[in-house]
Homo-oligomer: A and B are copies of this chain.
Amino acid sequence: MTIIQSEILKNWIANVFETCGFSAQNAQLSAQVLVDADLRGIDSHGVARLSGYIRLIRNGRINPTPNFIVTHRKKTMIHVDADGAIGLLSAPFAMNLAIEATAEYGSGWAGISNSNHFGIAAYHAMMALEKDFIGFAMTNASPLVTPAGGKQRMLGTNPICVAIPTQNEIPFVLDMATAAAANGKLEIAERNNNPIPEGWAIANNGEPTTDAKALKNSGILLPLGSTKNGGYHKGYGLGSWVDIFSGVLTGANFGPWVPPFVSFLDPIPNQPGKGIGHFVGCWDIDGFQDKETTKKNMDLWIQTFKNTVSIDIENPVLIPGEIEHNLSNERLIRGIPLVNAVCKDIESLTSELQIKSPL
């Protein structure tokens, strides 16, 4: 385990992207989105992703110099063709358009096609908070999750993020995969040589499994709810919603056609759409009643829920986004911990690109 200061990590990531053809500005923004993931403790979506992105740039599946085009617009509804960009860039571009529309109309939405990996949904949704808007973000992803009752990879872990402003309390930030557990959790179990709980995955014959390598052994993730009794048709429904909004509505791919994030797997042929799709947008809280009342009541909501009687007195009830908020503050000061595999990745990218090491 190595600890690195976030500024140093960010500058190094920006250097990597710039060396691979990104403009200085795009390199900075992409680096910021990745470092924010590491700060918030979503380590699977931070610098750990970088070497994979670089391979996709090299084999032509991520365009390092994209030209975003608004292809269609109906006032609050804006469609962006991302020209093969990484989602780290296309989503903030589109979110800014949605924010402008919201300032004018009270709400605004952007659908993005022809894009690539999104990074953390929370980054994009939280852009709205600066304007006291509610931010919303979703993306589809390469298929790993089965529909309820199925035994086939049809949906990504398809996250939904909702970020809601407050007065003095920390913002409400729900950022959740619609699978019972995202693949990052299986990787952690595998690294620690632990089995995974029942309810996260099935083997490809449909039988329950506790194998942390289930995905590597052609297993399949389960939707949130895990079982019929647990209501996994709901997790399937939520993941489907995300897939349809991100893929079908935008003209991107959907379901089994969503292209893989790894360079060693090719997209399947006869795709119905272009690249990966995202859906982002905002609501203006000022649209329903005066903003101060809403923000004051958000504070009351948060205080009230934090005071829920908890089962374990040592473990108080948390607000969505609270862990990430606190971790981010802590890591900004103490630095970001990097596991050895990520440090190795950093070293090899550093030497390949002949840039200065951050470690």
Contacts and interface: CB of A to CB of B under 8 A. Distances in A.
A284 B150 contact: no
Interface in A250-290: 250-251, 254-256, 272-273, 283-289
Contacts of A164: 244
Contacts of A226: 225-226, 230
A152 interface: yes
Interface in A146-160: 146-152, 154
Contact of A284 (B77, B283, B286, B288): B77
A310 B150 contact: yes
Contacts of A311: 149-151, 206
A58 interface: no
Given A76-B287, A109-B106, A315 B231 contact: no
A327 interface: no
Interface string A238-251: 10110110011111
A147 B76 contact: no
A283 B244 contact: no
Contact of A251 (B288, B301, B310): B288
A356 interface: no
Nearest to A304: B255
Interface in A177-226: 177-178, 180-181, 197, 199-200, 206, 224-226
A359 interface: no
Interface in A304-343: 304-305, 308-312, 315-318, 320
A300 B73 CA distance: 24
A111 interface: yes
Contact of A107 (B76, B272, B317): B76
Interface stretch (A4-12, A24-32, A40-48, A291-299): A291-299
Interface of A: 71-79, 104-109, 111, 146-152, 154, 162, 164, 172, 174, 176-178, 180-181, 197, 199-200, 206, 224-226, 229-231, 233-238, 240-241, 243-244, 247-251, 254-256, 272-273, 283-289, 293-294, 297-298, 300-301, 304-305, 308-312, 315-318, 320
